[in-house]
Amino acid sequence: MSDSVRTGTATHCPYCALQCGMTVDQELVVRPREFPTNRGGLCQKGWTSASLLASDRLTTPLLRGSDGTLQPASWDEALSFVAQRIREIQGESGPDSVAVFGGGGLTNEKAYLLGKFARVALKTSQIDYNGRFCMSAAAAAGNLAFGLDRGMPFPVTDVDTADAVLLAGSNVHETMPPFSQHLSGAAVIVVDPRRTPTAEAAALHLAPRPGTDLALALGMLHAAVVEGQVDAAYVRSRTTGFDAVWRIAAQWWPERAELVTGVAAADQRRAVRMLAEASSAYVLTARGTEQHSRGTDTVSGWINLALALGLPGVRGSGFGCLTGQGNGQGGREHGQKADQLPGYRKIDDPEARAHVAGVWGVSPAELPGPGRSAYRLLESLGTPSGARGLLVFGSNPVVSAPRAARVTDRLASLDLLVVADFVLSETALLADVVLPVTQWAEEDGTLTNLEGRVLLRQRAVPPPEGVLSDTDVLAGLAVRLGQPAERFPVAAEEIFEELRLASAGGKADYSGVTYARLRAGEALYWPVPSVDHPGTPRMFLDGFAFPDGLARFVAVDFAGPAEVVDSSFPLWATTGRVLQHYQSGAQTRRVPELMDAVPEVFVEVHPDVAARAGLDDGSLARVVSRRGSVVARVRFSPSIRLDTVFLPFHFPGAGRANLITNPALDPISEMPEFKVCAARLEVAS
């Protein structure tokens, strides 16, 4: 056996943004390796990740024939067909009649080239991605408060020394288990309606009514002020806007917040004392507090508390957001979002347009303006004002989008649906063209993990014969649409060299990052503005990203969920993940070990609530909202709130949790309200 087979290739896990270090050998054996985020540990998904490389892969393009079935085709036939249909549709209805939907799991190179392809080859403004459903509220709140969005503006290992950590809407024991070791020395406060494994292990569990996190944050801020726990010197020297925030928080004494949230006022005060009295403290948020129709305001509420306690931009303390998808950070920095260009530039900024257009060799006037955000884009498909064609890369919106039945209908109404994937996902099953693409261990590429660290994920094994990279697909289409071949490179390192130029001078400046530095093992956290710059592992120590260097308190007040419970829908339904599955489940549902552990959707419900609905543990229930219903297996949970039920969102068909979720959008980030909707339980027929 050769050394390369025995030792394997150093790479990173294909799942969450922790991006655990691992090795993969030619026999598809995964081994954990020492890396700061995971320190030689892996979760069950990571251990079984190589199974994806040998699963029911697509190895040839598929075209839908006249009989309605998907039939094998050559690459030239498939790409030529797609290009011809794009030309026909855009010739009849204009550039915006073809849209693009990307993914937070795509490498930086793919995300960059996808945005360039949309704006230069398709000339469409209609591009967004599934990361809009993941981190957009936290990103918006970070920009408002700090002038810049980097989920965690410090290394994960900084949390090791914390005395107290507040996790708002995060269940790290299941969603990213190796992260839990960084919490071992801290008193952990968990804010979650459910008694999750993370909450079970915490020093203090605050279980608010779903959709009331902001009221809780306001009550805790009130307690901090009244009990003298505000860091007055920090607020005076490093922030602005506190008075406007206090005028609102002054009305939210903890007892009032208790009436709204159900969290005891004494526990609110205890949580604040734990943070304020700690010599090292962190406030970290995640999807549970972000995926709301007022998600940006809610994250701002937690940032306000952190600022009042003097945590952000201080060595040994801080505020951060736990990014979910593998490249959730990098995926939102380089052009997949409807309003952005590479380097985290705004697409309506004339200077940004001129810079990126210069790198791309086009006129700034040729670049389209902002398009629709993810749900608005999907909901508009096939309508008179929406796109007639859609190209999907790295996403499965039939399962992952809110109000999933409506989105499925919109996709089915298209004149052209093209899906690039490595398996026949639920979205691919609807497509006119399916293009088989490479997986994580079959290609080089960079990702940016939850700390803002740029990582090189190296090719470990060759792809199956007949499978191409997403970059090959984009280049092949671009050339067929009339673009010069040299404008759309396919090699990851060549694309990254162009990304460096495009990002130079932007908020997310990667211009000093090179493959050579990454291969040499340098830990490079953006911004890295030059090749001799060491990177920026800890941001904001010398000031925040505003001209005056001050962080902004953002005045926000509680408004509640977008819909209310009533006699017909008396329960709050919330959704989330389980340890064994990931996102829409298109990957993990193909791993036998993971499916054996959690084979189907379930609804977690208090036994008393189930009994009132005539349901037993293990029976089938129908969870009904104002938009649809989900059929799920009942799982008794004596610790869950009596007004709440929980569904994981990884399953297809009638088990799609997103059949019931509310697409009400946050007005700032356009994040849908995944985490709370009014529902009822019925016995499934």
What 3-state class would DSSP assign to 601? Answer: coil
pLDDT tier for residue 6 given thresholds of 50, 70 and 90 = low
* The pLDDT of residue 5: 42
* The pLDDT of residue 179: 97
The answer to whether 540 and 313 are in contact (CB under 8 A) is: yes
The answer to whether 129 and 659 are in contact (CB under 8 A) is: no
CA distance 23 to 8: 5
Is pLDDT above 80 for 180?
A: yes
Residue with tokens 């010197």: 233
Is pLDDT above 90 for 110?
A: yes
Sort residue 70 into left (φ over 0), alpha (ψ -120 to 50) or beta.
Answer: beta
* The pLDDT of residue 7: 76
Domains identified in the chain and CATH numbers: 3-54 (2.20.25.90), 62-130+337-525 (3.40.50.740), 136-322 (3.40.228.10), 571-683 (2.40.40.20)
Each residue of 504-554: pLDDT tens digit?
Answer: 999 999 999 999 999 999 999 999 999 999 999 999 999 999 999 999 999
Of residues 526, 525, 529, 523, the one with CA closest to residue 511? 529
* The pLDDT of residue 1: 36
Each residue of 81-91: pLDDT tens digit?
Answer: 999 999 999 99
* The pLDDT of residue 475: 98
pLDDT tier for residue 52 given thresholds of 50, 70 and 90 = confident
- Check: pTM over 0.85? Answer yes or no: yes
The answer to whether 499 and 526 are in contact (CB under 8 A) is: no
Of residues 685, 679, 4, 669, the one with CA closest to residue 337? 669
* The pLDDT of residue 4: 40
* The pLDDT of residue 54: 81
DSSP letter for each residue of 163-232: SEEEEES--HHHHSGGGGGGGTTSEEEEE-SS--HHHHTSSEEE-PPTT-HHHHHHHHHHHHHHTT-S-H
Q: Residue 9: how many CB atoms within 10 A of its CB? A: 17
Is pLDDT above 60 for 597?
A: yes
CA distance 537 to 451: 8
- Give the CA distances from residue 182 to residues 185, 203, 300, 577, 582, in Å, rounded to whole numbers and listed in that order: 8, 15, 25, 21, 22
Q: Using alpha carbons only, how large is the chain's radius of gyration in Å?
A: 24
CA torsion, ordered 105, 107, 110, 111, to nearest 10 deg: 60
Each residue of 265-279: pLDDT tens digit?
Answer: 999 999 999 999 999
Of residues 94, 658, 105, 545, the one with CA closest to residue 336? 105
Which has the minimum average pLDDT: 1-10, 120-129, 322-331, 593-602?
A: 1-10
Q: Residue 143: how many CB atoms within 10 A of its CB? A: 18
Q: What average pLDDT does the chain have?
A: 96
